[in-house]
A and B are shown apart, each in its own frame.
Chain A
Amino acid sequence: MDEFLRILTQSLAEIIAPTTAAFAIAAIGLNLHFGYTGLLNMGQAGFMLLGAYGFGIATIAGFPFYLALLVALAAGLLFALILGIPTLQLRGDYLAIVTISAAEIIRWIGRSTWLQEWTGGASGLQGRNYKGTFQDLSPLPDGRTVIGPLEYINTGSDSWWTRIFAWGLVALALLFVWLITRSPWGRVLKGIREDEDAVRALGKNVYSYKLQSLMLGGMLGALGGVVYVLPLTIAPDAMGRTMTFFTWTVLLLGGAATVFGPVLGAMVFFGAYMLMRTGMRALAENTGVGDIITTTNVEQIGGMLVGITLMLLVIFRPQGILGNKKELAFDVR
Chain B
Amino acid sequence: MSADMSAETSAENAPGNGPGTSPEPESVVDAAAAAAVAPTSAVAAEARDDLAQVEPVVGAPKPDAILVADDVVRRFGGMTAVDVTHLEVQRGAITALIGPNGAGKTTFFNLLTGFDTPQSGTWSFEGRSLHGKSGARVAQQGMVRTFQLTKALSRLTVLQNMLLAAPKNPGERFWLSWLPFTWKAHEKAATDKAMELLARFKLDDKAGDFAGSLSGGQRKLLEMARALMTDPTMIMLDEPMAGVNPALVQSLLGHVQALRDEGMTVLFVEHDMHAVRHISDWVVVMAEGRIVAEGPPRAVMQDQAVVDAYLGAHHDTDLGDDSLLDPEILARLEAEEEKR
Contact = CB atoms under 8 A, between A and B. Distances in A.
Interface of A: 176, 179-180, 183-188, 190-191, 193-195, 197-206, 212, 326-330, 332
B339 interface: no
B156 A180 contact: no
A330 B154 contact: yes
B121 interface: no
Nearest to B146: A201
Contact of A201 (B145, B155, B160): B145
Interface in B145-189: 145-147, 151-156, 160, 163-165, 167, 169, 171-174, 176-178, 180, 183, 187
A332 B164 contact: no
A190 B230 contact: no
Nearest to B151: A198
Contacts of A328: 155
A84 B233 CA distance: 34
Interface of A is mostly: helix
B160 A180 contact: no
A186 B174 CA distance: 9
B213 interface: yes
B39 interface: no
Contact of A191 (B135, B156, B169, B230): B156
A332 B172 CA distance: 24
Given A184-B183, A187-B156, A203 B151 contact: no
Contacts of A329: 212
A201 B238 CA distance: 12
Interface residues of B, number: 41
A205 B178 contact: no
Given A187-B172, A201-B145, 8 more contacts: A180-B177, A187-B156, A190-B156, A195-B153, A200-B115, A200-B135, A200-B139, A330-B155
A204 B156 contact: no
B144 A201 contact: yes
B2 to A, nearest CB: 37
A187 B139 contact: no
A330 B212 contact: yes
B194 to A, nearest CB: 12
Contact of A332 (B135, B144, B154): B154
Contact of B153 (A186, A198, A200, A206): A198
Given A197-B151, A202-B230, A327-B155, A183 B180 contact: yes
A69 B179 CA distance: 25
Which of B115, B153, B156 lies at the interface centre, i.e. has the most chain A CB atoms within 10 A of its CB? Answer: B153
Contacts of B144: 201-203
17 contacts: A180-B178, A183-B180, A183-B183, A184-B177, A185-B171, A188-B164, A191-B153, A197-B135, A199-B164, A200-B134, A200-B135, A202-B139, A202-B165, A202-B229, A203-B139, A203-B167, A330-B213
A203 B141 CA distance: 9
A187 B160 contact: yes
B141 to A, nearest CB: 9
A180 B183 CA distance: 12
Contact of A184 (B134, B169, B212): B169
B310 interface: no
Interface of B: 113, 115, 134-137, 139-140, 144-147, 151-156, 160, 163-165, 167, 169, 171-174, 176-178, 180, 183, 187, 210, 212-213, 226-227, 229-230
Contacts of A326: 210
B235 to A, nearest CB: 11
Contact of A203 (B140, B147, B180): B140
A190 B177 CA distance: 14
A174 B339 CA distance: 77
Contact of A204 (B113, B155, B172): B172
Which of B140, B178, B212, B227 lies at the interface centre, i.e. has the most chain A CB atoms within 10 A of its CB? Answer: B178
Contacts of A200: 115, 134-136, 139
Nearest to B173: A185
Contacts of A330: 154-155, 210, 212-213
A186 B171 CA distance: 9
B74 to A, nearest CB: 18
Contacts of A188: 164, 172
Contact of B135 (A183, A187, A201, A327): A201
Given A201-B113, A203-B140, A187 B163 contact: yes
A275 B111 CA distance: 59
Contacts of A201: 113, 115, 135, 139, 144-147, 151, 227
Given A205-B134, A330-B154, A185 B230 contact: no
B294 to A, nearest CB: 26
B174 A180 contact: yes
A203 B213 CA distance: 25
B140 A332 contact: no
Contacts of A212: 174
B164 A202 contact: yes
B191 to A, nearest CB: 11
Nearest to B165: A202
B171 A184 contact: yes
Contacts of A203: 136-137, 139-140, 144, 167, 230
A77 to B, nearest CB: 13
Nearest to A178: B178
A218 B320 CA distance: 63
B172 A185 contact: yes
